[in-house]
Each structure stands twice: as structure tokens, then as C-alpha cells.
Amino acid sequence: MESVRTVVTGLGIVSPLGCDLERYWQAVVSGKSGVGMITRFNTDGIASKIAAEVKDFDASQFIDKKEARRMDLSEQFAVVASQLAFDDSGLDLHNIDVNRAGVVIGSGIGGISTLEKQHKLLLDSGPGRVSPFFIPMMIIDMCAGMVAMRFGFRGPNYGTVSACASSSHAILDALRIIQRNEADIMITGGAEASITPISLAGFCSARALSTRNEEPERASRPFDRDRDGFVIGEGAAILVLESLESAKKRGAKIYAEITGGGMTCDAHHITAPLPDGDGARMAMLNAMRDGGVGPEDVQHINSHGTATLLGDPAETRAIKSIFGERAGKIPINSTKSLIGHLLGAAGAIELITAILSLQAGRLHPTINLENPDPECDLDYVSNEARDFNFDVFLSNSFGFGGHNVSILGRRFDDQN
């Protein structure tokens, strides 16, 4: 059976740099940082006191206040970003076969803020005070479930959980569902709201987070010699994927075509990547093979680029092992330098950012790259945005547990 061509027709974000696509794009391309001091809780005793918080988020514009109280913040983010993406797509619920429309949304941690609050209630006031909505508010699949209920979509529906690769896995699953002709429309992406005391404490104990508390905006510094860990972020990023036939039939605008993806596992360590980057290498090669292109065709890479001591060199080695002498000529950037690490939502917002770059013919900078690590010696679009027209790109996501995902996207060409 011939694979169904799949395009992106809608985008929606809830991010540390805004909840509007144009506002977000202007912020990232100007090199603005979304990182600051944590405002949501007291950080006394926690080594890392910085994060990329979502600011000015008002769920009541989209969700009834009573309903919102029964939702974890991650679920609110997912619903709002999905509504924004749906609106952006121009879809009309009256003209959709809801049995051929589905939702796959990933999250790495899910409703951890709800878990913290309800556990405190249990200890302080007893089991009778635990909310009857506790479980639905906590479980990761409910992001997808609530979005489906909002739109009445009755096609494939579930959540994906693979740490920082969660939303990239969700997007590839949604792609496969359309390619297999099991659905015409898929809402997909990721949501995360894990800036909580226990999350910060756990990541700090693992020595994963930056502690550059005196300079929050300069703390996320992928590929820099002086990096000291990632900065935790939050938000949601949602794409509307649609079969090309469906999109053309209704005259939809098309942002890009998603043509392939690769998934591998390092099978190496609970947090550290394979030092030689071989798992990442295979994910990228599989994505290219799946998308019908070779290394000579890839023109841009949105890197995983977390600013961890082990991750950045491993990804660099993986890229060099594939592209050889061309590796240094491919512009690579890290969106995490600007908005921190959105964990399970990172892959989706980075794919959206790459698509916006494709549309604009401009690459956002990797900020704070002041003293390049000698082991990270590629072109990371350091500190200044760059005009660059391209057609084919990769977006990389690698998660704790050794999960590797690479997504291949390209400019839509109706002649292909």
C-alpha cells in the first residue's frame, strides 16, 4: 500500500516566550531568552532557582473555569495549544469525519504538580480529602483524551511517554497513522508543566540542571565550554497533521511536509547517551532513509542541544559521523538556549520552530555560545540570527532512558 503524504496545516504553542506564533517567532529569532528566576514557589534549599516559566497564561479564554479546576496545568496547556493549532488550521468541525480524526500527545512527566498537591492533602487531612479528579488530572494520557473530547475526535487516541523524546514519538506515531490511511487528521505534539519543587529537587540531585542562578538568561548555553546543565522549561506545542488529499480538498495552507522519522534506543544508561552518539546517528539515518533523502540533501538541523556535559558532544559526534566534511557546513541551532528544556514537549516545539524557520528563511541563534567547547566544533548559528533558505531539515530529540527520535521535514512541493 502506498504511503499517504502528510502535511502540517496548523500550529499552536504555549511557551515561555508567549502563546502566539508570531510573538514566539519574533522572540526566538531576536535571541530573546525566556529564562528567569522561579516565581511559582520558594526555592530555598534547591540548588537551581531558575526556569523558563510560561507567563501570562490565561486558560479561562479557552476553558470554563470549573472545568479548568479539574485539570492539571499540563492538560490546560495541551488543550489551549490544541485549540490554537485547530484554529490556525482553518478546519471546520462541521466538515470533519470525526471517526477519521485522532489525537496523540506526549508528556514526559504529566501531572506532577497535581500529585504533589494531592499527596500533601493526603498527609495533612486524610484520604477523604483527596480529589476524585486526582487520577484523571495526573495521568499522561488525559492530555490526548481531553483534546479529543473537546473536538469530538473518535479516531486513534493515546499518550506517549519517553522522557524528552515523548512529543517527537507522538508526532511520528500520528504521521504513521495518516500514512497508513487510518485517519485523515491528527492533532499531535506534547505538553509539560513540571516546574515544581520535587521536580527541581530530583533533577538537582541528579546534577542535571544549571545552577547559574545569578545570570538566568545566560544559563542555558548549549555547546558552550562553560555549560553546567539544562534549564527546565514548560509549555505545550501542537501540530495539526493532515493527509495531503484532505488538505488540498479544503484549500488549506500548508506549512511543511513531514516525510519521515527514525527511532532508536541507546540501550546504554538511564540518563547518559552513548558517548559516540551511535543511537542518535542511527535515528537520523533512519529518518533520512524513511524520508527518501540522503545526507547530501539535509540542509539544516534543529538539535536536541540541551547544554549537558555529555549530550552536546555526543550529538556533535553523531552529526559528524553521518555528514563527514559537510557537517561543518550545515547550520545547526538549539532552541533550548532560548526557552530551556520543555522535557516531553521539547521535540514538538522544536519541530514547530524549524517549520517557522523554513517559512521565514531565517534561523534563530543559539544564544550564550561564547566559548565553544572544542569537542563541539560545528556551525551552531552562534548568538545571531541568520538568513538561510532551505528545503530539507532534521529535528532531533533524545530522552533519558536512551530514547532517540529524529524527524525529517521539508518544504511542501506539489510537484513531488
Residues marked active site are found at: 164, 304, 341
Q: State which H helix or E strand residue 168 sits in.
A: helix 166-179
3-state SS class at 114: helix
- Residue 181 DSSP code: T
Determine the Cα–Cα distance for residues 194 and 243; give it in Å rounded to an integer: 33
CA 63 to the chain's CA centroid: 23
Burial label, 96 (beta-carbon count in 10 A; 0-12, 13-18, 19+): middle
Q: Provide the terminal-to-terminal Cα distance of the chain, rounded to the nearest Å.
A: 18
Helix axes 73-89, 142-151, angle to 10 degrees: 40
The grid coordinates of residue 67 equal 472545568
The type of residue at 30 is: S
Determine the Cα–Cα distance for residues 410 and 262; give it in Å rounded to an integer: 15
Determine the Cα–Cα distance for residues 369 and 141; give it in Å rounded to an integer: 37
Determine the Cα–Cα distance for residues 119 and 368; give it in Å rounded to an integer: 39
In Å, the largest CA–CA distance within the chain is 65
The grid coordinates of residue 30 equal 531576536
CA 301 to the chain's CA centroid: 15
Compute the residue count for the chain. Answer: 416
The grid coordinates of residue 137 equal 488530572
- Residue 215 DSSP code: -
Name the nearest CA neighbour of 317 among 341, 282, 366. 282
